[in-house]
């Protein structure tokens, strides 16, 4: 049974067993697994999407529904639905107790410093990056971003500089009551990893303050989702991460509650679930941001149009016909806009206006 699988109970909750909080021997290593290389439709890969699991999880079972027998999960669906992304799943030792992990684990700053070279080795930072994090994984990512900006390691800066957005799934930004239970119950013998989640931990407060004060400067967009159902731990039902702790407190980020418990929130069973729709929309929004930024840079670098410009030429062509005249990156932008229209995220008028805006900017045609 995978480490984060749970047992049902008669009370209708979910039971967090000792096995659910364990880290098997095969998980006591760090790796970054490519779920999909993307670009199956011939489009260039623009963004790396990195999934980061939480306490007692791993790179596979954390994201798979408990009842699923398929090796694929929603990470594969995202790669299929958005060809311009490459999807990765990070794995690191995250055992909750000393009975189930070798040694005492790593403290949060040490774990972040341990993971940055692994991500750089696999090329993370060479393209734009989006992180999707469950529980502890969100704290790890915030610490990674902090290290990559503050440590005297120029190579590490690529991680923060490349990051477009972070989506938090039930991340305890101010700690978890469950971690407090693990600390209080001597039999659990909590590791340094699980102690990092302790409610009201001063380090978590400082890390949260740093993130709130720097995401705007780093131009990182934030999304946050909270569990709304309880799980059973030992003899009680409890919310592992309450809404207050799940809220990163970032300006412009509205916490969204999901009809799931702490474990199921990261295991959508279909594309029609709130988690999948929310994360997919978030990723597409970052792609739109990236395209907008590239258009702005191209616009700034473009020479002034000649006075003899034939305004009847470029404007009279149909957008689909003019794609053959465009650079590959602009073709990709038009495809992304059309995809958002197909998903009903934009109405037909907005799709047309955005496409024409790209073409007019490319050809130097202004609104006169």
Render each residue's pLDDT in the chain as its tens digit; 368 residues.
Answer: 344 433 434 333 454 444 444 445 555 689 999 998 665 556 689 999 999 999 888 999 999 997 666 778 999 999 999 989 999 999 998 875 554 445 557 888 999 999 999 999 999 999 999 999 999 999 999 999 999 999 989 999 999 999 999 999 999 999 887 665 564 444 355 666 666 677 778 889 999 999 999 999 999 999 999 999 988 766 778 788 999 999 999 999 999 999 999 999 999 999 999 999 999 999 999 999 988 776 665 555 556 555 444 444 444 444 444 444 467 777 777 878 877 777 767 777 777 778 777 776 766 655 44
Q: Are residues 40 and 175 in the same domain?
A: yes
Q: Are residues 202 and 320 in the same domain?
A: no
HSE-CB at 180 with a 13 A cutoff on CA atoms is: 12
Residue 293 lies in a domain: no
Query: Could you tell me which residues are beta bridge partners of residue 128?
Result: 47
Residue 112 lies in a domain: yes
Q: Are residues 70 and 195 in the same domain?
A: yes
Residue 292 lies in a domain: no
Q: Say how far apart CA 37 and CA 108 lie, in whole Å.
A: 30
Contact partners, residue 352, CB within 8 Å, separation at least 6: 319
Q: Say how far apart CA 164 and CA 220 lie, in whole Å.
A: 5
Q: Say how far apart CA 235 and CA 81 lie, in whole Å.
A: 42
Q: Are residues 359 and 254 in the same domain?
A: no
Residue 269 lies in a domain: yes
Contact partners, residue 47, CB within 8 Å, separation at least 6: 84, 85, 86, 127, 128, 129, 130, 164, 283, 286, 287, 290
Q: Are 209 and 119 a contacting pair, CB within 8 Å?
A: no
Which residue from 7, 20, 16 is spatially nearest to 233, judged by alpha carbons?
16
Residue 56 lies in a domain: yes
Q: Which domain holds residue 321?
A: 305-363
Domain stops at, among 286, 318, 348: 286
Domain count across the chain = 2
Tallying the residues shown for the chain, one arrives at: 368
Provide the angle, in degrees to the nearest 10, between the axes of the packed helices 274-301 and 328-342.
150
Q: Are residues 278 and 311 in the same domain?
A: no
Residue 147 lies in a domain: yes
Q: Are residues 282 and 312 in the same domain?
A: no
Q: Are residues 312 and 181 in the same domain?
A: no
Q: Are residues 280 and 326 in the same domain?
A: no
Q: Are residues 253 and 329 in the same domain?
A: no
Token pair listed for 203: 């380090």
Q: Are residues 266 and 354 in the same domain?
A: no
Q: Are residues 181 and 323 in the same domain?
A: no
């Amino acid at each position: 049974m995978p480490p984060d699988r749970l047992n049902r109970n008669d009370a209708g909750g979910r039971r967090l067993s000792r096995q659910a909080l364990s880290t098997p021997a095969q998980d006591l290593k760090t790796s970054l697994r490519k779920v999909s290389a993307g670009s199956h439709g011939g489009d260039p890969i623009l963004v790396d999407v990195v999934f980061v699991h939480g306490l007692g999880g791993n790179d596979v079972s954390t994201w798979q529904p408990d009842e699923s027998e398929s090796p694929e999960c929603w990470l594969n669906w995202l790669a299929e639905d958005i060809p311009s992304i490459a999807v990765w799943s990070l794995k690191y030792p995250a055992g909750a107790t000393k009975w189930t992990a070798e040694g005492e684990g790593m403290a949060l700053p040490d774990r972040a410093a341990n993971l940055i070279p692994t991500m750089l080795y696999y090329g993370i930072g060479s393209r734009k990056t989006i992180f999707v994090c469950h529980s502890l994984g969100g704290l790890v990512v915030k610490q990674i971003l902090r290290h990559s900006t503050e440590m005297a390691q120029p190579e590490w800066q690529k991680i923060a500089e490349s990051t477009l957005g972070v989506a938090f799934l039930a991340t305890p930004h101010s700690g978890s009551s469950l971690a407090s239970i693990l600390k209080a119950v001597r039999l659990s013998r909590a590791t340094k990893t699980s102690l990092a989640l302790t409610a009201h931990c001063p380090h978590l407060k400082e890390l949260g303050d740093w993130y709130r004060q720097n995401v705007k400067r780093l131009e990182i967009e934030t999304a946050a989702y909270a569990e709304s159902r309880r799980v059973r731990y030992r003899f009680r039902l409890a919310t592992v991460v309450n809404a207050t702790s799940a809220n990163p407190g970032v300006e412009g980020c509205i916490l969204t509650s999901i009809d799931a418990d702490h474990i199921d929130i990261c295991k959508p069973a279909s594309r029609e679930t709130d988690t999948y729709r929310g994360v997919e929309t978030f990723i597409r929004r970052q792609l739109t941001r990236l395209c907008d930024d590239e258009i702005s840079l191209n616009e700034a670098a473009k020479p002034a149009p000649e006075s003899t410009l034939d305004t009847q030429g470029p404007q009279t062509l149909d957008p689909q016909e003019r794609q053959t005249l465009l650079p590959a990156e602009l073709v990709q932008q038009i495809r992304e806009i059309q995809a958002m229209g197909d998903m009903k995220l934009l109405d037909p008028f907005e799709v047309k206006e955005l496409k024409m805006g790209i073409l007019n900017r490319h050809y130097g045609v202004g609104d006169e």
